[in-house]
Copies of this chain bind each other. A is one copy, B any other.
């Protein structure tokens, strides 16, 4: 592979080991499903070695090819765009029911579909989201241990560093990924253990405060996010229902919980562009009333945004609110990755759509109805977008109305 000569092979190896041992914390005997772009093959192979050495049963890779994705938009007849590979996604749901762990590698060009017909892009996204529902539910419920990591794909690198020669761009993206993932140091597994403890300290404090709502204020933002009844703050390592403590996102700098989907009021402006399945959506500004978005604008990608909001009944409501200090390493890198895995860790954010049942007290034992009665949102989408910056203050509002400073100028107040 030509990539491996550009991309530090020691760091690839460490990321593979970290993904298996800390990200997935793969348990001997577990099967493993890996989704990855073809380009990520050197990383997939290393992960395979570590996973089999850790006792994996059978490892199944599902590779995707951006050229085949584009071929559909350029060649397929109209009826194609409402179809999805239901059999494959249903199968993934079955795999998770049988304790298969899930590793996702991101790395494709975030603007792959930028020049394609937004109507068709929207239809394909909707068909895929619907088909993915059984698998997605099992992931958001944390039925099994899962992990997402990144590979420095060449087209992605060229989007981020358009002025550099392409190999240099790829090298630069690889360094940014490895640094954010803490594998450019000698003991990534130890570093993640320490990092998890820090995130735990923050979420423990927030759980102790038991705020009724958070109030975000700053330029273009005056937003009150009611928190769900019995909400619980999470961050870093997470106990899946199968008993495995995994790190779902590498990198991760956030602590997050479930908003009350009927109790969000006010206006909020995005602070970074959102790259959604191939389209860049920039300068989002939306108004919430009784938890639902009643007005939505974007300076770019507004059509795709409006389509997203129409995905289903829960797509206009919040499923997640997350706090990330402006001083987070990813924020300080000054890079826009056009990828949620990274960009959501550069700023506090909210997510439209499906909530995590994990973010409730005793969440693993709550039924769907119980989650809804506590204010948890249900949707076939889950889309994070960034609302934090160095100019944003956050107050926690207690049930008696007392305001407690949580963030000042984008940093933890305490």
Q: Chain A: residues with CB nearer than 8 A to chain B? A: 28-29, 31, 38, 41, 44-45, 48-49, 52-53, 55-65, 67-68, 71-72, 74-77, 79-80, 83-88, 90-92, 94-95, 98, 100
Contacts and interface: CB of A to CB of B under 8 A. Distances in A.
A45 B68 CA distance: 6
B63 A76 contact: no
Given A45-B68, A68-B48, A98 B87 contact: yes
B49 A75 contact: yes
Contacts of A91: 87-88, 90-91, 94
Contacts of A87: 91-92, 94-95, 98, 100
A59 B76 CA distance: 10
A77 B58 contact: no
Among A38, A58, A90, A95, the one with the most B-chain Cβ atoms within 10 Å of its Cβ is A58
B56 A76 contact: yes
A72 B83 CA distance: 35
Contacts of A71: 45, 48-49, 52
A85 B60 contact: yes
Given A38-B38, A53-B76, A61-B68, 17 more contacts: A38-B41, A38-B63, A44-B65, A45-B68, A48-B68, A48-B71, A52-B75, A52-B80, A55-B80, A56-B80, A58-B72, A58-B83, A58-B84, A60-B85, A63-B63, A86-B98, A87-B100
A86 to B, nearest CB: 8
Contacts of A60: 85, 88
A67 B88 contact: no
Which 4 A-B pairs rank lowest in CB-CB distance, beginning with the nearest? Answer: A91-B91, A52-B75, A87-B95, A52-B76
